[in-house]
Chain A
Amino acid sequence: MFAGRGAGAVHLLLAHPQSKRMVDTLSLSYSCVTVAAANLLEHRLRLAAALSGIAVALFLLIMQISVLDAARAEVTLLFDDLNFDIVIVPDTYQFLLSFDTVDRIVLDIARATGDVADTFGLNVGVVHWIQLPSKQMAYNFLIGLDDPGTFVRDREIRDGWPSLTTPQSILADRYSQPSVGPVTVGTNVEINGERLTVTGQFKLGLFFYAEGAAIVRNNNFTRLDGRDPHSISMGLIRLNRGVSPAKAKADLIRALPSDTLVFTRSELLDSERAYFLSTKPIGIMIYISMMIACLVAVVIIVQVLSTEVSNRMKEYAVLKAMGANVAFVYGIGLAQAAILGLGGLLPAALLGMLVLGFIQHETHLPTAVGFSLTVQMVAITLILAGAASAAIVRRVHSANPAELF
């Protein structure tokens, strides 16, 4: 009985003019795709050449998008590990690696505003990291932290912190470049004429600033870097619940000396990204390479489609003379473009996964192909295929049955 009612419902549904139109559209799209595939498969060699060309272009595009995303993530890596709402920096601050400092007293001033729940001093600098016993020198990014409390999110840093028991103990970045030498627990190194021992490890990979990274307590940082013990590179602030960053920022600016700057977390992250990707020409150079890769893909699809159109003009005319819908003829072109695009994307994505996975494995940059990149690439490919078919649609339209005879 249910079956009968179900069948009846389907029947009713099909009888409805709108669903009939939908079914028609579906079957039309299906025929478009089968005809398109058959057309393309007629010249296997040409198809292979076109697909490999498109694959190369899309592979380049995947690489560029991924590198840009990785660069964007890389420049805020350290801040992502730190839990803060507002930051106080010297007015010379341009990006993380700035050598000027503020006096620790800014943290006390901040607490006096009443907006602030907790404060944290962060020191950064680049030091000569001399491996022992080889005496090989590398540039290392030295980070000084106050007691992590609730400021440091990273598990490994929090776990390693208690091992910093003596002034000569240090945590080393497992993602440091090989030129830094071994960074395992127990390794001895020399910084500023002092012998230190690695007592723990963490994972960051801050390649924009130095070859490797290491963490010490702030009171040891100032000694190792030859800095005034009261100075910090930046003061991190966490606000009381319910205080808006904008209000706190205004209060802090009023209270703090004029040679300091106050940023909210999002302002700081935006300015870090802007410095590397807009002020420096890195962003624009990647964008231009992306545009060129897109252009190459479109041009190849246009070439294949336009060859198809010139070869099959008569066949299209016959279809039209037989009464085929113009939409059907256009649909074939669109389907061919989509098949070419997605057919090129598949090998490009596979190769991209391999190469980017390898890069991530080697450099620990977050380059691996993920879900969002895959969705992005499918969308871009379909847009490019659509653009390519739009470019030659006029020629299909000109297929005139009368010319046949």
Chain B
Amino acid sequence: MRASIELGIRHLLYNRPRLLAMSASVAVGVVIVFVEMGLLLGVLDSQALIATLVRGDLVVMNIARVDLHRWDKIDAIRLAQIAAIPGVARVMPVYMDHVNLRDAQDKRVRRIIVYAFSPDDMPLNVGDPVRVSAALKMSRSFMFDRLSRPIFGDIKPGKSIEIDKFPLLVSGVVTMGVDIVNDGNIVMSAGDWLARSPASKPIMGVIRIAPGADADKVRNEILARLPPDITVLTPNELVERENVSTLETTPIGILFTIGMIAGFMIGTINCYQVLYTEVADNLPQYATLKAMGFSDEFLRTTVLAQAALLSGTGFAVGLTISILADGYLAFVTLLPIKIHLVSASLVCLATIALCILAGWIAIHRVQAADPASLY
């Protein structure tokens, strides 16, 4: 057993450039899988972004706001009602709207999303809380999301930028992100925002529960005591709800899943192909081994060991290229496209399994090696 594994591995290691070429064919499949998966998760993560930024235990929204790209707002009174419920420590309103941002250079005006909240205890995690809070406290100012699409012109702290025709000071940058629908974000303090548009209603409220209180109980209490025009979710539930909604309303799920399956198929076919060619090219050697009395079992293990080694090197090469490819995609799409640890581990396991499967098929070839046909 050990001898056969060693033989297989040494045989592959003998010709390093060839091993690299073989790994590269397996890596093609790995890269396709990671790119398709990166795009899918990137779109899902970006659409659900705001839910992942929540600094609180529960989120309250209008019941009609079935996904995060709807504009149904809640009455501010609901937040006050929730604050009065036992177990609720704090309820923080978040305002959201469109504003027009004028590019000082080309004079073009573009729509951007504004989020507004109190700088004292922030409901969203958009950067270092101390720094963001200090910057938001400057009046007549806003903070610019550094991950916005690069269509808004040169926006740097200290500059004065026209928002809805009024010049405001850029007091700093925050880190949020864009999605397919929205091109960029700015953040203002709730005070500044309400001074501009006093009739604004919150788009959501972030709830912190009192120490020791149970989130589920508090939620049930809120739903029982308030009119049925609101919905209360934990941030994780909100992320999941958004993912389901994105998958249901767009074809991206099917599109990228087919792509991933294609990637796995290509990886398996390639792995089979290189092992098959490897065996075919060395058929006389395998036949000699067989003629010398080595068992079919021995030859099988040799090929399987090669398949296993190839899955490892192929995955490593593929992962390296994928990190670069996904980095490039993140750069051009500005979506949060990255390789998640969990999904990478799953792809790794799948690569090993599929390579072994490919090796298993290639073994038929070895078993056909007939010593007699050699001469």
Contact = CB atoms under 8 A, between A and B. Distances in A.
Interface of A: 53, 56-57, 60, 90-92, 94, 98, 100, 258, 261, 279-282, 284-285, 288-289, 292-293, 295-296, 299-300, 303, 306-307, 310-311
Nearest to A291: B35
A163 B262 CA distance: 54
Given A299-B270, A303-B270, A289 B259 contact: yes
Interface string B242-281: 0000000000000100110011011001100100110011
Interface stretch (B81-89, B104-112, B188-196): B104-112
A53 B270 CA distance: 13
B101 to A, nearest CB: 10
A291 B32 CA distance: 10
Contacts of A90: 109
A5 to B, nearest CB: 58
Contacts of B110: 92, 94
A303 B273 contact: yes
A91 B107 contact: yes
Contacts of A311: 280
A285 B28 CA distance: 18
Contact of A307 (B39, B149, B276): B276
A285 B262 contact: no
A289 B255 contact: yes
A289 B39 CA distance: 10
19 contacts: A56-B262, A60-B258, A91-B107, A91-B108, A92-B110, A280-B180, A281-B180, A288-B39, A288-B329, A292-B263, A295-B266, A296-B262, A296-B266, A299-B270, A303-B270, A307-B273, A307-B276, A310-B281, A311-B280
Nearest to B102: A91
A299 B271 CA distance: 12
A281 B333 contact: yes
Contacts of B180: 280-282
Contact of B35 (A258, A280, A288): A288
Which 10 A-B pairs have CB atoms at the shortest separation, nearest pair first?
A: A281-B333, A92-B109, A303-B273, A310-B280, A91-B109, A92-B100, A296-B262, A299-B266, A310-B277, A292-B32
A292 B335 CA distance: 19
B36 interface: yes
Contact of A292 (B259, B273, B276): B259
A357 B272 CA distance: 37
Interface of B: 28, 32, 35-36, 39, 100, 102, 107-111, 149, 151, 180, 183, 255, 258-259, 262-263, 265-266, 269-270, 273, 276-277, 280-281, 329, 332-335
Contacts of A60: 258, 262
Contacts of B108: 91, 261
A267 to B, nearest CB: 13
A281 B370 CA distance: 56
Contacts of A307: 273, 276-277
A300 B180 CA distance: 33
Q: Please report whether the interface of chain B is mostly helix, strand, loop or mixed according to DSSP.
A: helix
A100 B165 CA distance: 13
Given A92-B109, A288-B329, A281 B269 contact: no
Contacts of B281: 310
Q: Please report whether the interface of chain A is mostly helix, strand, loop or mixed according to DSSP.
A: helix
A57 B269 CA distance: 14
Contact of A279 (B149, B269, B280): B149
A74 to B, nearest CB: 15
Contacts of B273: 303, 306-307
Contacts of B277: 306-307, 310
Among A98, A299, A310, the most chain B Cβ lie within 10 Å of the Cβ of: A299
Nearest to B151: A279
Given A92-B111, A300-B269, A310-B281, A281 B151 contact: no
Contacts of A285: 39, 333
A276 B367 CA distance: 57
B330 to A, nearest CB: 10
Given A92-B100, A281-B180, A306-B273, A295 B332 contact: no
Given A94-B110, A280-B180, A303-B273, 6 more contacts: A60-B258, A261-B108, A279-B151, A281-B333, A282-B180, A296-B266
A268 B367 CA distance: 67
Contacts of A292: 32, 35-36, 259, 262-263
A259 to B, nearest CB: 8
A281 B335 contact: yes
A92 B111 CA distance: 8
Contacts of A57: 262
A284 B332 CA distance: 8
A288 B110 CA distance: 28
A262 B183 CA distance: 23
A53 B265 contact: yes
Nearest to B277: A310
Given A92-B111, A303-B270, A284 B262 contact: no
A296 B263 CA distance: 8
B28 to A, nearest CB: 6
Contact of A299 (B100, B269, B335): B269
B105 to A, nearest CB: 13
A53 B262 CA distance: 9
A281 B53 CA distance: 22
Given A279-B149, A296-B262, A307-B273, A284 B333 contact: yes
